[in-house]
Amino acid sequence: MPKTSQPFSEWRLSPVGARQARQLADLLGPLGIEDVFSSPFARSLETAAPFAKKHALQVVLVADLREHHLTNEGGLPSDEVWCRSWEDFTFSLPGCETSLTAQARICRAIRNIAQTAKATSAIFTHGKIMALFLNALTSTVGRKEAEGLTNPDVLKIGWENGAFTWDRHFQLAGLQPIATEHRQTPREQGTQTPNPAAPGNGGSPSRLQVGRARPAVPDRDRYLPLSPPQP
């Protein structure tokens, strides 16, 4: 279980999260994944590890896949900070990261992977940063959609002729029965009721960028190449 005394990047999966990661490894098999990329955060690596081991694949660390740095305090950001990060993309606490900066780096990271990948790739990352990527595709994705992501959740993102595609109708078979909501995952050691609005926490598997999410957005799936404004 995560402890507020631990750096956020070192928070590990809870027993529930570890079980979900093992189950996810089985579900991803039919997708034909040949390359695995992960955030360097411990819980993301622990989510990727069962699948990578099962299929004898190497996990490539990409620093810019890390979660949005919202607070320097122990534990998760407050509701106020979480909400403000969606209302004002130039907002950040001292020494932390604006949503604009975080969005620019996640778009850059995924674009770089897409441009160099030779086959279907799995990208293991985190809830808030993944939602910021979706927001760069379409501004209709915001706080409400980010809070609707499950643990784990899977998106299916394509790259074709220099543009991203998002298959919003894709549903990974078997995912729904094993996934949980944020509120069902312990927030930190000794805490039983997590902040349901907070981004991914240490007890939950990270998000995988090769499957599905469920935001209520118009039915279109092709987007221009991402060139987010530089912070």
| pTM of the predicted structure, to 2 decimals | 0.83
Binned at pLDDT 50, 70 and 90, residue 72 comes out as confident
Beginning with the edge strand found earlier in the chain, give each strand of the sheet holding 222-223 in spatial order.
Answer: 157-160, 163-166, 222-223
Cα–Cα distance, 51 to 66 (Å, whole number): 19
In a domain, 135, yes or no: yes
Predicted confidence (pLDDT) at residue 214 exceeds the cutoff of 80: no
More confident site: 3 or 109: 109
Domain span at 48: 8-223
Measure the CA–CA gap between 170 and 162, rounded to whole angstroms. Answer: 21
pLDDT tens profile 148-178:
999 999 999 999 888 998 998 999 999 999 9
Average pLDDT over residues 62-90: 92
Residue 175 in any domain: the answer is: yes
128 within domain boundaries: yes
pLDDT for the residue 4: 58
Structural domain contains residue 77: yes
Residue 219 in this model has a pLDDT that exceeds 90: no
Which band of pLDDT confidence, cut at 50, 70 and 90, is reported for residue 220? very low
In this structure, what CATH number is given to the domain that contains residue 16?
Answer: 3.40.50.1240
Find all residues with CB under 8 Å of 40, minimum gap 6, and list them: 9, 61, 62, 63, 65, 66
| pLDDT for 115 beyond 50 | yes
pLDDT at 191 over 90: no
Tell me which residue of 153, 159, 165 sits closest to 211, measured CA to CA.
Answer: 153
In a domain, 231, yes or no: no
* Cis peptide upstream of residue 177 (ω within 30 degrees of 0): no
Residue 108 counted as domain residue: yes
**What's the whole-number average pLDDT of the chain?**
82
Domain membership flag for residue 3: no
For 131, the token pair is: 């939602």
In total, how many domains does the chain have? 1
Residue 205 and residue 38: Cα distance in Å, rounded?
12
Q: Is residue 88 part of a domain?
A: yes
Return the percentage of the chain with pLDDT > 70, whole number: 75
What 3-state DSSP class applies to 164? strand
Whole-number Å distance between alpha carbons of 114 and 120: 9
